[in-house]
A and B are shown apart, each in its own frame.
Chain A
Amino acid sequence: MFLRSCSLALRCRRFTNPQVTIRAFGSSRTARKDASENALDLDAWKSVMRSQALQEDSKIPSRSALDDNRELVEMWHQAGKFVPKNITDEQLEDLAQLTTRSAKKKYLKFLAIKESHKITKKEKQEKKKSEREAGEREQEELRNTFLLKFWSSSLDRVQSWRAAQAMRFGQPLVYDMSYEQHMSRRELENTVAQLMESEGCNRRASDPFHLHFCNLQPNGAYHRELLKRYGSHTWERLLITATERTHLEVFPQRDLVYLTADSKSVLHTFDHSKVYVIGAMVDRSIHSGASLANAKRLQLATARLPLDEYLDWECGAKNLTLDQMMRILMTVKDTGSWKKALEFVPKRKHAGFQQHSSGFTGAAKSRFVRNDSSESRFVRNDSPESRFVRNDSPESRFVRNDSSESRFVRNDLSESRFSARAQNQLKNKTDGRKKQPERAQCREDGH
């Protein structure tokens, strides 16, 4: 066949080259002869291909979903689509559970990207290795020094002792692991990675927290993933408390503060006597309000970090990762300065620190004092109006006689009580009652 194609090529070359210019002027007969010769030439590939028919043609009669999906991935790879070349059985099972075409494509794209990362890494490593072998000629001299080498196991021992001390005397910090239903498999893996990171960061600190993983169901998805990542040996010896009890059972309710970005109340000072709870959730698919719902259900106090107060926010979700939260809380515990702590918020999300006019530092007590002064100022100025409101209600009570409307009046009273205060957290119900006698006093003064 080689000779045949060769001779054909020769024949074509003899005819086509001089004919190039003439063909443009359309000498049809020669062109047609040319075309037919070319056509013969052109279809030669078909016979070549046909002779390459696959030898194995025994189709497996029983096809499982796994085989079908494996075939799908193989053929898509051959067709040049962005899918991985090799795929494991576990990944195939995940693929088989996705139903729509776009879901499968996205998952395969993710696997393909992972694979390409691995391949480039491997290539880099091999290149480095070959360079190193080529470059390493002279032996390293032994260095003389009187300093003993500090082994990493010594460092581990020091950190373990610190962690053990924190378990007995340190401030607790709770990670709430009750979000299995809200997360996909990938989000769960990310969560566990972040938990590992935050645990490591905690261990290395000079004054660690006593970490609790609460609501950790044994053999649940979280537990299995943690075992897989840590390894059962390390997981057994980890100096944290992992329990399936809820945080409400372990700590008294008044000590718990749930940190969530959806909360309306801001955390201005770090309280060393409270136990802060962080939801162990990664929400790439936004489940707005899931952590707040959990807090509301257990009637816990909530708080959010003072991101808006200190940072000039640009764009990005106000949900921070778990290790960022850990670092922020650690820093604010050690130094008390939010400026240093909020360095750990990713720089791409904000444009820099705001010029804070009068920083909220120190105890909450000063805040109450300030509020009182402003509040008394309010009452002094508005005493005629507040009196007006008070007088209004009896009149309105006369105008509308039905009982439902008097309930409106009663609502008025309570709402005006709220409105006299500056915007504050509704944590302590005693706040309003504390203010009332003062208002009564001022009114008497005003008379």
Chain B
Amino acid sequence: MKKRAGMDTEELSPLRTRGSVKIPPPDHPLTISEWAKLKESSSKPDHFEMQMMTGLLATNADVNIAKSLLAYVVQDKGTLTYELLLRYLTLCVSGGHHSEVFDTYDIMTTCFKTLDTGASSLFIKGFSQTERWREALVVLEGMKKALLPSPRNYSDAIAGAALHGEIETSWMLYDELLELGLVPNQDTWQCLFQSGISQQGQEDKLFSVLSYMRDNQIYPEEPLIKTIKAWFESLPDQKWSGKFSYVAPSGECKNCKASLESIQLTEEEYAELKDKVMKKVIEGSDVFKKTTPEELNSFKSFVKQRPPFDIVIDGLNVANTTPKATHSETLLAVVSELEQQGLNILVLGRKHMLQPSRNWDRQNMNKIKQKAHCFFTENISEDDPFLLYAALHSGVHCNFLSRDLMRDHKACLPDSATRRLFFKWQRGHQLVISHYAPGKRVWFQRISAYDTIIQTSGSSWHIPYDENRGDRATYEVPQKWLCLTQEH
């Protein structure tokens, strides 16, 4: 759900204002009789107060007008509803009227049993901006009943503590946040790094923040990366200097010429991935969903009896690369190109590809069978899990060729660490066809040789970050880096 900038309210209930003419709220405080007159002239007198208050909130009006409205309602009805007070509170917090916030807090806690999540969030935000920030922590504790507080709440509380110089408290809140299993906002980190610049002695904790970002493959955004750069450069006696740059496809940083971490997995990571993919993706909860046990066993023996493959091709995916040529032609062209490069090829497909038709020509299929090993699954089985199995069991050097992003198979994996491993393996081993025109040569996209993740070599740090204007999908990685080097 998109967050509305500046306002902390959660989703408000729909007010039925269809068909009624909306009266714009006044631009100066009115007296009680003036409000009464305005109410009479409105078409829906029941919703008048809420309508007015929502209008004031939307236009970010003067708080005195709202106060006059509340005075009128008290006069009219004798008391104020929770909802009205909540909207008034939103106006005060967004406008920064601290005394009003204090008064409203007193009133709401005395008149109502407890606070709801929206009001609590607003109070945490409001109190953190003032000298009564410790009460925000009390409210935060009170929120931990049916629902956990959100990372935004913790972000506001940490900002409040840091603003008033209590670094210990802010770190304690951060640790609590991690313990509850929530993911911190970028604002939280920005606040912590900012406090690191003003107060020394927090290097260890901030380095642990960086390693958290590495372990969870989180990329900082532009404001945060600038603060990180400033922090590094503020460290005394260490003489860090940072520069924004790119990385060459070979894995060399353009700025300092150091090579980055390779994208290949280690032996243990590879074995773990192989095991998890077999258990969760191919077999899953029910092996019959994607294939049958007999087919799986016959495929396993097929792979065992062949020499290890250099490349595994998703036949159906590759065949559909271009609408200009028939499927078997495209597949034959790709297989021929790879055979010329001297690779041991496995082509995976389904049994219907062997039936002669306009798309699957017998001659082409026979030629393909001569150039490569082929395995055809039943038409109702899924061929992707077989692709992953063959590629993983052929060794670290084996690549696979498909345009499929494999997101549905990645989602079958149990935890995020395995998913990140899978994504890393995929980036390092998935070949994609970049150009093919019938009759011409087949061109493949280059696989990156380096891993896009926060990394350090002791005397240098390389941090990839997201640009402000960039729209990055979850299956893509950022291209811009911050290169931090120490001068000796």
Binding site for B on A (CB under 8 A): 5, 9, 12-13, 16, 35, 38-39, 41-46, 48-50, 52-54, 63, 65, 68-69, 71-72, 74-76, 78-82, 96, 101, 104, 262-264, 289-290, 292-294, 296-297, 389, 392, 396, 404, 408, 412, 415, 418-419, 423
Contact = CB atoms under 8 A, between A and B. Distances in A.
Interface stretch (B104-112, B161-169, B230-238, B415-423): B104-112
11 contacts: A13-B31, A13-B33, A42-B70, A49-B107, A49-B110, A69-B146, A75-B115, A289-B289, A408-B369, A419-B355, A419-B356
Interface string B17-35: 0000000000001011100
A16 B31 CA distance: 9
Contacts of B117: 72, 75-76
A180 to B, nearest CB: 14
Nearest to B285: A181
B81 interface: yes
B71 A68 contact: no
B83 interface: yes
Interface string B139-170: 00000011100100000000000000000000
A408 B50 CA distance: 78
Given A9-B32, A78-B82, A404-B305, A293 B355 contact: no
Given A9-B32, A81-B10, A408-B369, A50 B106 contact: yes
Given A41-B68, A80-B12, A296 B113 contact: no
B141 to A, nearest CB: 13
Interface stretch (B72-80, B255-263, B265-273): B72-80
A31 to B, nearest CB: 11
Given A38-B64, A75-B115, A82-B14, A49 B288 contact: no
- Majority SS of interface residues in chain A? helix
* Contact-size category for B: 35 or more
A178 to B, nearest CB: 12
Contacts of B463: none
B179 interface: no
Given A54-B112, A71-B114, A71-B146, A264 B71 contact: no
A48 B118 contact: no
B59 interface: no
Interface of B: 10-14, 29, 31-33, 50, 64, 67-68, 70-71, 73-75, 78-83, 86, 103, 106-107, 110-119, 145-147, 150, 286, 288-290, 292, 305-306, 351-352, 354-356, 362, 366, 369-370, 379-380
Top 5 nearest A-B pairs (CB, nearest first) are: A75-B116, A293-B288, A42-B67, A78-B82, A80-B83
A82 B16 CA distance: 13
Given A79-B83, A264-B380, A42 B29 contact: yes
B147 A264 contact: no
Contact of B79 (A46, A49, A101, A408): A49
A52 B78 CA distance: 10
A119 to B, nearest CB: 15
Determine which residue in B32, B150, B351 has the highest number of CB atoms from chain A within 10 A of its CB, and name it.
B32
Contacts of A42: 29, 64, 67-68, 70-71
B107 A46 contact: yes
Contacts of A297: 288
Contacts of B354: 415, 418-419
A35 B73 CA distance: 20
Contacts of B32: 5, 9
Contacts of B306: 404
B145 A63 contact: yes
